[in-house]
Copies of this chain bind each other. A is one copy, B any other.
Amino acid sequence: MFKQKIQEFREACYVLFGFRIDMIGQQFKLKSMFAEKPSDTLLFSKQDDDEFILLENEYSKSLSKEIHAFLTTCHSIPAFLSHLTLDLFNNQTYLN
């Protein structure tokens, strides 16, 4: 029952926030439904103090300074991911 509930929760997150989430131990791999490439994933690591930090990878390094500022200056992951989602959404809408 709980296993099914996790699955429902993951599905709901995908529909609501637009990200497929994979929990790998204390790491969370996020992939946007609007991603341009399958390899465009973000990896967050949960620290001992429950803080989440974005691990650097090719994709994270490719994001604009403007988007990164929400993490580095504003210290807000939700604002960072929201900005990224709108950015990808607008690109997709524009391309279509």
Contacts and interface: CB of A to CB of B under 8 A. Distances in A.
Given A2-B5, A10-B9, A28-B12, A17 B81 contact: yes
Query: What band does the interface of chain A fall in when counting residues whose beta carbon is under 8 Å from B?
Result: 35 or more
A5 B6 CA distance: 8
A83 B81 contact: no
A89 B85 contact: no
A63 interface: no
B89 A78 contact: yes
B6 A12 contact: no
Contacts of A28: 12, 16
A77 B9 contact: no
A74 interface: yes
